[in-house]
Structure 1
């Protein structure tokens, strides 16, 4: 047989909607990323043994991030747990609003990344590897599926007034995928999207003439350089920006929502107004065809190395009602079945005291919790468990590779088959790592795949 000839054709890249590789269960995702590491022990993973042995010495092996302030004293949660929903899900009194939607969420108590550092663990959950420079999950989703809206970005990031998360813009980078697939930032204050409005002398008919001329020049240049996907992606980004001038403002205009909806998300209360506004924006964006929306809390908002007894209730107060409202609102509008909602951070916390003078908890990436809702996952389910102290995941462990393989499956994508040609060979989100689809949390399990 004659040797195969290398293809000289360069692929084209765009944001047009693309058919998934298999029947999907989800078509959009909203990720509520709680940067800093929420304490699973104080929120959603009760440990009776920890309560019994409060202030006793922990005799197991433990890895500290801050050894200078570390102790081996066990620290029981100061907050009470109670059962919520028909399923009787155990949740902390700090999350009363989440309790009202307990029957709609899938709580995973056995997450693990195994890298006890914010940046590396964020990379693991956002890009699939602890190393920097790879495409974010939202970039992979939009590369594989495109967008249902040609007037809004496919991948939108809603940032927090408390600052960018650890790693900043790397959280929504396109890596080595074309720049068309990077996240578009929506800021927490006006102007929500920088440089969207034209200068005064280019508004109206003047702008239309300018854009028409610019498009003709750009397209002519592209014809002279066929197959230059970076050039094509940049041109498409410019053209999308022009269309966004109207569509984005409409999508982000919360005045169109009813007073009841404002109250549902907590826009009438100072503590919840900001996060509630962004959760409501996320719903409006997926409603209009945006594929992937990620909301970040402020820099290290959940990183309670000290002062946890004061700081944790405060951040729960800001985020609990809006997150639960998002589930209720999506469900009421018939969007929850096809919209996957994620809540979680890059780590949990240790069962021992850090900083005895101002009690907190150190990092724990060996066993922590997150929850999912909608988009084909089972409802009212608790999956996996940590040991008796909440230190390490011991049953049905879900690492970041498993998490990504499961998400891709829900969207009808193969985490290995969806790849990008690089000089070193095809690259994918999983890149040959041992990853399993977590069938037990899916409404359509492995037996239903035919």
Structure 2
């Protein structure tokens, strides 16, 4: 019989133990011996010089040579309407306000919001679509900047999931299961590959303001949690007001030297506790205290945009100078990429348009369109796109039929998990392709289905991780991000 504490102790490998013990006092003492100030501003040196060697995570080293050193995940919480943005269905003009044929739905599950509707009237998009780039990808007028970068991204029109409601669906795509409590994708990456910069978190979360529908689905910290992995691998959520990270500043009357003495004392007490009970979470606590201490110097430098050129700021648009906006967070994500942050996730809420798409969706698109284009362009200009994987998308899609009344001025769409659109760029992803296809009604996938497990397997693959070999024993099972179900790396999306 295996007890939970025994399983948990297995999480701490010999490599992790000695890596952790090399931090803290030893690191401070070494910096002092070398005549360096451990709290020196990262701005005093090139960010690239702060990057640490690989092989610091539980895997020791990736399973194979990675294409990506880092990931920036742009998550549109609430489910963007693919019918009004990417998945052009001109045939639907002929079907506008006619009911969706039963044979197209095929008895598929409906939400409680439309299951009682007497009709399922098809709502053809009111937005103009045009083809762009070498690929001829269709993009709507809502995304004028995204349309300029279609040759740099791979558009996936055939994503699908089983989850039909927001919280289970977001939990599913973030953690691999619809039930809460499991490690998030960013936590798995942090655990497996470790830190790339000693002075910044391995996994950072940025929540953005939005201007569309103001009532939005809640985001819970478990979406970037570490689950059964050591807690040091959970995402660190930055704030847009006050200290970027909670409790980053010293309390009034407490100086840096006093803070250091306090942390040294805590480390001694925590080490005694570890020797007594052997709980690896104690070492996680030590690591988090030490990271917070180092972040007092590194985070203010990271968030200081004064050194960015006027040209760069103009690239991201006028919102870039407003902390907490999607544009500001995209520029911050690029700065994190330069400094070796392994996984950055930007959430943008407000995409749950059950009604009033003509009123709300344009605002949402304005929030993210120029900034997404600027991020890809900026990374590309700096040579960072070659090893930075950028992912854009939500938890599922929206229906071709209208929820509620369909009028000449407004319409809404319900949840649709059976097909939706995402895009990827950089780090070995084929640029300028459109992958997958849906039927004339945009209701079912007709070519190259991509399950969200396949997406996560592909993200791990680009980081040099074989998802089928990356597991942790928990509750008697070898737990994986991609679960026990079959998952495939989508090789057709990747350069050979």
Alpha carbons 1:148, 1:289 under 8 Å: kept: yes
Give the number of aligned pairs. Answer: 436
The residue correspondences of 1:275-424 to structure 2 (distance < 5 A) are 275-298=326-349, 301-356=350-405, 358-424=410-476
2:142 is matched with which residue? 94
Measured after TM superposition, the shift of residue 164 of structure 1 is 8.4
5+ unaligned residues in a row in structure 1: which ranges? 1-5, 445-450
Q: Cα deviation per residue 1:236-273 (whole Å; 9 max; x = unaligned)?
A: 11111111111111112222211111111113579998
The residue correspondences of 1:25-424 to structure 2 (distance < 5 A) are 25-60=67-102, 61=105, 63-65=109-111, 66-67=113-114, 68=116, 71-161=119-209, 166-226=218-278, 228-267=279-318, 274-298=325-349, 301-356=350-405, 358-424=410-476
- Work out the CA distance in 2 between the residues paired with 1:375 and 1:277: 23
2:37 is matched with which residue? none
5+ unaligned residues in a row in structure 2: which ranges? 1-5, 21-55
Alpha carbons 1:272, 1:317 under 8 Å: kept: no
Alpha carbons 1:72, 1:353 under 8 Å: kept: yes
- Work out the CA distance in 1 between the residues paired with 2:441 and 2:416: 12
Q: Cα deviation per residue 1:212-234 (whole Å; 9 max; x = unaligned)?
A: 333333334334444x2111111
Superposition TM-score, scaled by structure 2 size: 0.84
Relative to structure 1, is the Cα distance of residues 400 and 272 closer, same or farther in structure 2, using a 3 angstrom cutoff? same
Range that drifts further, 60-69 or 169-178: 60-69
Q: CA RMSD in A?
A: 2.2
Alpha carbons 2:354, 2:413 under 8 Å: kept: yes
Relative to structure 1, is the Cα distance of residues 271 and 36 closer, same or farther in structure 2, using a 3 angstrom cutoff? farther
- Work out the CA distance in 1 between the residues paired with 2:119 and 2:177: 31
- Work out the CA distance in 2 between the residues paired with 1:194 and 1:267: 27
Measured after TM superposition, the shift of residue 79 of structure 1 is 0.3
- Work out the CA distance in 1 between the residues paired with 2:321 and 2:98: 40
Alpha carbons 1:71, 1:354 under 8 Å: kept: no
Superposition TM-score, scaled by structure 1 size: 0.92
